[in-house]
């Protein structure tokens, strides 16, 4: 298996633009997680899905952030409009069943908003 | 308040040394994860445990539920072990993982 796949790996955009990050979980995994990592706040869970359904989105910073999982093999995290403080590395991870199981991380997307 | 604390924040060791990284948490948990983040940024899950001890190669993770404490041990450390090690817990009162700030480990040859 190729592991968790994220795209793009790097994204540089201007403030106000829409940004879409993409994730393909490991085949057969039922849970998908979106994390954000910054120097100031470390790793933070933004949202996680179980069987394509959002279970906990309390970590999503504000209405500018939205996440979807239209099917078991694809998820998106969208920021609209983007702001410089959104600059961070965004990780996607998947696991067999929920947070109490081992999670497999993607390589991350480094987002820079200027 | 649900908190996770790691110590030390930074650790420098010589190749071959035995290394211990600690993680303490404030209230009951349902699971604890140890993660390794490489200098290039990639994150690997090392262990997930809720009791006892797990071993994988030179890595050993232990957890003491009564003391609310977990340790990650590395035996015969090697420069390739240099990374940030992150402890994350799922509190029984919540549904999300809470992360420690990480321990930066540098192993010198």
pLDDT tens digit sequence for A46-95: 999 999 999 888 889 889 999 999 999 999 999 999 999 999 999 999 99
DSSP code at position B80 = G
- In whole angstroms, what is the distance from residue A97 CA to residue B27 CA? 24
Q: Which two tokens stand for residue B106?
A: 């540098």
Which of A3, A49, A103 is the best substitution to test chain B (most B C-beta atoms within 10 A)?
A103
Residue B1 has pLDDT above 60, yes or no: no
Contact between A102 and A95 (Cβ < 8 Å): yes
* Predicted pLDDT of residue B41: 83
pLDDT at B95: 64
pLDDT tens-digit series, residues A25-35: 999 999 999 99
- CA distances to A58, A79, B74, B93, B104 from B97, rounded to whole Å, are 12, 22, 24, 11, 20
Mean pLDDT of B61-73: 96
Q: What's the pLDDT score for residue B36?
A: 96
Residues in chain A within 8 Å Cβ distance of B41: 89, 107-108, 110
**pLDDT at residue B38 is higher than 60:** yes
Spatial contact of B98 and B91, defined as CB atoms under 8 Å apart = yes
DSSP β-ladder status, B10-14 and B103-108? parallel
**What is the pLDDT confidence band of residue A100, given thresholds at 50, 70 and 90?**
low
Nearest beta carbon to residue A99 from set B41, B90, B102: B90
The pLDDT value recorded for residue B103 is: 96
Q: Does A100 sit within 8 Å of B90, measured CB to CB?
A: yes
At B81, phi and psi to the nearest 5?
Answer: -80, -10
Q: Do A99 and B43 touch (CB under 8 A)?
A: no
């Amino acid at each position: 298996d190729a592991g968790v796949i994220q795209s793009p790996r790097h994204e540089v955009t201007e403030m106000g633009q829409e940004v879409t990050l993409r994730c393909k979980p490991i085949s057969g995994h039922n849970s998908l997680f979106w994390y954000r990592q910054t120097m100031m706040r470390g790793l933070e869970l933004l949202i996680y899905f179980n069987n394509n359904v959002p279970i906990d989105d309390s970590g999503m910073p504000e209405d500018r952030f939205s996440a979807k999982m239209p099917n078991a093999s694809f998820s998106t995290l969208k920021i609209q409009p983007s702001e410089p403080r959104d600059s961070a590395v965004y990780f996607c991870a998947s696991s067999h069943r929920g947070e109490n199981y081992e999670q497999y991380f993607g390589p991350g997307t480094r987002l820079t908003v200027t | 308040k649900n908190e996770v604390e790691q110590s030390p924040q930074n650790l420098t060791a010589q190749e071959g040394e035995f290394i211990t990284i600690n993680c303490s948490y404030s209230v009951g948990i349902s699971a604890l994860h140890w993660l390794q983040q490489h200098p290039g940024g990639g994150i690997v899950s090392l262990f997930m445990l809720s009791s006892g001890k797990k071993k994988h190669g030179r890595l050993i993770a232990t957890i003491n539920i009564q003391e609310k404490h977990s340790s990650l041990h590395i035996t015969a450390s090697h420069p390739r072990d240099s990374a940030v090690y992150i402890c994350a817990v799922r509190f029984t009162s919540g549904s999300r993982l809470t992360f420690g700030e990480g321990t930066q480990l540098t192993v010198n040859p």
